[in-house]
Amino acid sequence: MKQHQTVKIQILNDNVAGRWCRSEHGLSFLVEADQTVLFDTGSSDLIGYNANIMGIDLQQIKTIVLSHGHDDHTGGLMLFSNSKLICHPDTFLKRFRKSNQTELGIRWSEEEIRQKFDLVTSREPVKISEQIWFLGEIPRINDFESRRTAFVKADGTDDFVMDDSGLAIITSKGLIVVSGCAHSGICNMISQAKKVTGIEKVNVVIGGFHLQNDDIVTKKTIGWMKENGVVQVIPSHCTALPAQAAVMQHFRFVQVKSGNIIELG
């Protein structure tokens, strides 16, 4: 397989504003490899504003992948139609925060989405192109990740966000793993990327890690990545500042902001 030397990730939205582009709580990355894939859509139509600033024509995007069904990753779907949309079937569950019982799921039903998109739902990995994989449902194998949840389903049972997934991108330097929130555990996601692609070397991990503090979970996550030879780690979105600072002590990175263009080998 011909492996592209450079993968471009354009940050249509992350939690921090860039010089020209606005931001909101949410994530949306435009991934350009052997195929262009929009990974998540942010909380609202804000990505339309940022795309205009960045010279990106959203109507040319033919493939969208959702990392999971939370509203801060799916709100921008209103801007699209007729694209292929890939996600886990649990993306459409009704879900609520335990803290205040507010709803935080996707705003549209599966039926409504099927009317607007070529919808592909899968618990199994999906090969999007020669270079890009949707990782499907992530096995929860580590003893330090995804052990607690702040969410419940409509029936009142714990919601561990089993739909949480990511992308694996194959390059000549190893894998690039892209995460929306890593409710499934970022290390679990990396393990799944290795299994799905058959490639052991991980060059870059980027996206939300859902780590909040410089605590034992964050320390074990950093230790696991170092032990497994991850070269570059770029946390963003739901990775809180104390956790980002802890990662920075071991993996140097530039803060992700809306409007950034990140080129990775």
Pair of tokens at residue 206:
């980027």
1 assigned to some structural domain: no
Which among 188, 195, 252 is positioned nearest to 221, based on CA atoms?
A: 188
Is the CB of residue 27 less than 8 Å from the CB of residue 180? yes
Residue-wise pLDDT for 211-260, tens only, equals 999 999 999 999 999 999 999 999 999 999 999 999 999 999 999 999 99
pTM: 0.96
Number of domains in the chain: 1
Position 30 in a domain: yes
Residue 141's nearest CA partner among 202, 89, 187 is: 187
Examine residue 185 and state whether it is found in any structural domain, yes or no. yes
Q: Per residue in 36-70, pLDDT tens? A: 999 999 999 999 999 999 999 999 999 999 999 99
Cα–Cα distance, 28 to 39 (Å, whole number): 6
b/e sequence 72-88, b meaning 16+ C-beta within 10 Å: bbbbbbebbeebebbbb
Residue 261 near residue 10 (C-beta atoms within 8 A): yes
pLDDT tens digit string along 73-108? 999 999 999 999 999 999 999 999 999 999 999 999
Mean pLDDT, range 145-150, rounded to an integer: 94
How far from chain centre, in Å, is Cα 123?
16
**Is residue 17 one of the residues assigned to a domain?**
yes
Read off the CATH number of the domain in which 106 is found.
3.60.15.10
- Does 2 reside within a domain? no
What distance in Å separates the CA atoms of residue 145 and residue 183, rounded to the nearest whole number? Answer: 9
Residue 224 inside a domain? The answer is yes
Q: Average the pLDDT over 207-214 and give the result.
A: 97
Give domain status of residue 204, yes or no.
yes
Domain that residue 148 falls in:
7-264
Q: Which of 51, 45, 44 is nearest to 20 (CA)?
A: 51
